[in-house]
Amino acid sequence: MSTDESRHQQLTTNVIRLPPGCTFGPKHRISPHGITLIIPSTKARTEDEEDLPVIWVDFTPGSPNDPFHFSSTRKLVIMSLVLFFAFITTWEMSSYSISGNSLRSDLRVSQVQTALGLSLYGWGFAVGPLVLAPITEEYGRYLVMIISVVCYTLLHIMLALASNIETVQAGRFLMGLTGCIGPTLTPGFIADMYSPKERALPMALFTFVLLAGPAIGATTMGFVEANESLGWRWVNWIQLIIMGAFTPLAIFGLRETRSLVIVERLAANFRYERQLQDGGRYTARSEVEKLPLGRALQRSVSRPFLFLVMEPIVTFFALWTAIVWGVYFIVIAGLPFVFSELHGWSIQITGLAYLAVAAGSGIGLLGNFVQDSIYRRRVQKDGTEAGLWGSMVAGVLFAIGCFVFGASSTPEASWFGPCAGTALVLASAFTILQCCLLYLANCYGAFASSAIAGMSFMRIMVGSSFAIFTDSMFNNLTVRYSLIMMGGIALILAPIPFVFFFKGPWIREHSPISKKLIEEETRRLDEILPVGNDIGGKEESVRQSAV
């Protein structure tokens, strides 16, 4: 009996004994480096190549290995940990800013040099996701997250012991590079574990901690800054203590949620345990023609830029959120300027003014439930665009909030005006970011991290740069006209969600990237979202538009 006939007979007799979720596929050409061709070509194979049937490895329906089917407890633990890391990294934006006076006094540096530390932190946030987030899509989220948490924790020692501003600036940039993983990967964790109709609340909580973090950081660290025996160094020591307690929780509490990586590991285990005894090579579909590490990284790093340049959805949302984030930095910098310089408040009371930021974020979180209710009622008619209703309203309210903050930023005006404007700006910014993040997660599914990394790159690079010239802008234009000017720009950009609401399906239909990337998650959703269920509607019951 020939070798091929023997393998065919073995295949026939063993097919019923394949592990659950495994099925036979056609022959593929195997090289020492893995599968190189989908179907063996007519080209003669080399001595180190072999044509073998493959055994596809997939999740079984309802498999507990599939992140969609993790237990509620496991999902809650994972989300709590990633949300806390996202929170602490945004908390440290304002904690650095509020401790700027003691830092300048201790190191004898200028306001611009100190503000550069805030911008460098933001720039690290912008650059880091371009490399780290796509790598997690290729090789998994858990390892990158844990390495980032450990490095971020240790960098606090560098800042707390810094003897010059250059060390502080370098440390701040490195902290941005490592800390960016928290806010960047959270939408990816959400997309990994929750179906589109379940993502609204987790994404809203993410947006809340993203915007409320600086408010809580400034409020709490303002009291540390006001204590002459503590100051900016103890701000870093306190944050080191918090991160030191969090790190072991992250190591033992987090799990891998990238489904392609999990399936590839299952296939690798089967290859090790069963080898070729079942008549084929156990293989994950994502392993076919998988690139070597160097080329894979090159493709991964370029993917966010590809999204940013080639996907109009990402491009225009990036432009819009860049202005939103820039105004956010102006408000964070403007509050101490208004209340300390114009109203003569102490540093402790000025820190309490940041509660307006938390209040605005809280209002935005409550508004998310209204937006989610609208989404559920309108999804059958509007498809994925049902998630844009809140952003259409928030775009206009955001501009109004800027006008209110600016108009009331005078010594004669009540303190309530800037606080009310701040709350309105933050509530609107919350809704805008929440809708943009959720819309991108629904459009790009398992590749949401790359799409969001592209948007975040422009958003954070532009927004963080505002910190450098905010004081100069306040001195030249005053806070009043600076915010009024930004309100005018925001009003010009407000029509963006209206365009995507009416033209979003057409734009996605003509986007080759979007069409290609939804195939993976559509296959996964087929296991849990039967055709014709209650989230149906236009665009094949929203299945394509939902992912």
Average pLDDT, integer, range 517-544:
46
Among 251-255, 368-372, 491-495, the minimum mean pLDDT is found in 368-372
On whether the CB atoms of residues 318 and 95 are closer than 8 A, the answer is no
* 330-384 pLDDT per residue, tens: 777 677 777 777 767 776 677 677 778 778 878 887 887 888 788 888 878 877 7
Q: What share of the chain is helix, strand, coil (3-state, %, to 5)?
A: 75, 5, 20
Query: How far apart are the C-alpha atoms of 463 and 65, rounded to whole Å?
Result: 39
- The alpha carbon of residue 232 and the mean position of all alpha carbons in its chain are separated, in whole angstroms, by 29
Q: What is the mean pLDDT of residues 405-413?
A: 82
Could you tell me what percent of the chain has a pLDDT over 90? Answer: 15
Q: Which long-range contacts (CB under 8 A, 24 or more apart) does 336-339 make?
A: 336/97, 336/98, 337/471, 337/474, 337/479, 338/409, 338/418, 338/479, 339/415, 339/418
**Contact of 427 with 397, CB cutoff 8 Å:** yes
pLDDT of residue 1: 46
CA 94 vs CA 46, 358, 476: distances in Å: 61, 12, 24
Tell whether the torsion through CA atoms of 42, 43, 44 and 46 is positive or negative.
Answer: negative
**What would the pLDDT profile of 175-198 be if each residue is shown by its tens digit?**
999 998 888 888 888 888 988 778
| pLDDT for the residue numbered 80 | 94
Q: Per the structure block, which two tokens stand in for 231?
A: 């100051």
How would you label 116-137 residue by residue, b for 16+ Cβ within 10 Å and e otherwise?
bbbbbbbbbbbbbbbbbbbbbb
Band of the pLDDT at 73, cuts 50, 70, 90? very high
Helices 416-444 and 181-193, axial angle in degrees (round to 10): 50
State residue 79's pLDDT score. Answer: 93
Contacts of 75 (CB under 8 A, 6+ apart): 193, 194
Contact 440, 377 (CB under 8 A): no
With contact defined as beta carbons under 8 Å apart, do 427 and 360 qualify? yes
| Cβ-proximal residues to 411 (8 Å cutoff; 6+ apart), any chain | 342, 343
Q: Between residues 314 and 39, which one has the greater pLDDT? A: 314
Q: What is the mean pLDDT of residues 480-505?
A: 86
**Using the 8-state DSSP alphabet, how is residue 343 labeled?**
S
The rounded distance, in Å, linking the Cα atoms of 248 and 150 is: 9
Rounded mean pLDDT, 269-292? 82
Distance CA 389, CA 378 (A): 10
Cite the beta strand spans of 74-157 per DSSP E. none
Give the lowest-confidence range in 209-213, 273-277, 325-329, 536-540.
Answer: 536-540
Q: What is the pLDDT of residue 111?
A: 79
The mean pLDDT value of the chain amounts to: 80
> pLDDT category, 521, cuts 50, 70, 90?
low
Q: What is the mean pLDDT of residues 125-131?
A: 79
Residue 537: the pLDDT is 36
Residue 527: the pLDDT is: 52
At residue 400 the predicted structure's pLDDT band, cuts being 50, 70 and 90, is: very high
Residues 6+ apart with CB under 8 A from 161: none
Q: Calculate ∠ Cα 352-355-358, nearest 5°.
A: 155
Q: Residue 153: is its pLDDT beyond 60? A: yes
| Per-residue model confidence as pLDDT tens digits over 287-329 | 887 766 677 667 767 778 888 888 888 888 888 888 888 887 7
Q: Residue 7: pLDDT band by 50, 70, 90 thresholds?
A: low
Which residues have CB under 8 Å from 240's CB, separation 6+? 153, 156, 157, 160
pLDDT of residue 475: 80
Mean pLDDT of the 383-401 span = 87
pTM for the model: 0.74
Residue 43 three-state SS: coil
CA dihedral of 28, 31, 37, 41, whole degrees rounded to 10: -80
pLDDT of residue 145: 92
Query: CA angle, 337 as apex, 332 and 343 as ends, to 5°?
Result: 125
pLDDT at 191: 83
Q: What is the pLDDT of residues 82-116, one digit of tens each?
A: 999 999 998 887 788 778 888 888 898 887 888 88
Tokens for 424? Answer: 């309105």
Among the listed residues 94, 112, 114, the one whose alpha carbon sits nearest the alpha carbon of residue 103: 114
Residue/partner pairs of 62-68 with CB below 8 Å, 24 or more apart: 62/527, 63/20, 63/21, 65/262, 65/266, 66/259, 66/262, 66/524, 66/527, 67/192, 67/193, 67/257, 67/258, 67/259, 67/262, 68/192, 68/193, 68/194, 68/195, 68/259, 68/524, 68/527, 68/528
pLDDT in the model for residue 229: 81
Strand, helix or coil for residue 220: helix
Residue 366's pLDDT is what? 83
The reported pLDDT for the residue numbered 2 is 46
Q: How many residues are listed for the chain in this entry?
A: 547
Alpha carbon distance 478, 496 (integer Å): 29
Q: Who wins on pLDDT, 514 or 335?
A: 335
Residue indicated by tokens 């974020």: 361
Q: State the Cα–Cα distance between residues 361 and 17, nearest whole angstrom.
A: 55
Residue 271: Cβ within 10 Å count: 15
pLDDT value for 244? 94
> Cα-Cα-Cα-Cα dihedral of 459, 461, 466, 467, to 10°?
120
Question: pLDDT by residue (tens digit) across 44-62?
Answer: 777 777 888 888 888 888 8
- Average the pLDDT over 63-78 and give the result: 90
Q: Distance (Å, rounded) from C-alpha 315 to C-alpha 217?
A: 31
CA-CA distance, 352 to 223, in Å (whole number)?
10
Residue 123's pLDDT band, with cuts at 50, 70 and 90, is: confident
Q: Over range 130-144, report the average pLDDT.
A: 79
Percent of the chain with pLDDT over 70: 84
pLDDT at 512: 64
Q: What is the pLDDT of residue 468?
A: 76
Quote the pLDDT of residue 75.
93
What local confidence, expressed as pLDDT, does residue 480 receive?
Answer: 83
**Residue 172: count of CB within 10 angstroms of its CB:** 26
Read off the pLDDT band of 135 (50, 70, 90).
Answer: confident
pLDDT at 150: 95
Tokens describing residue 291? 């690139």
Alpha helix stretches (DSSP H) within 140-180: 142-160, 165-179
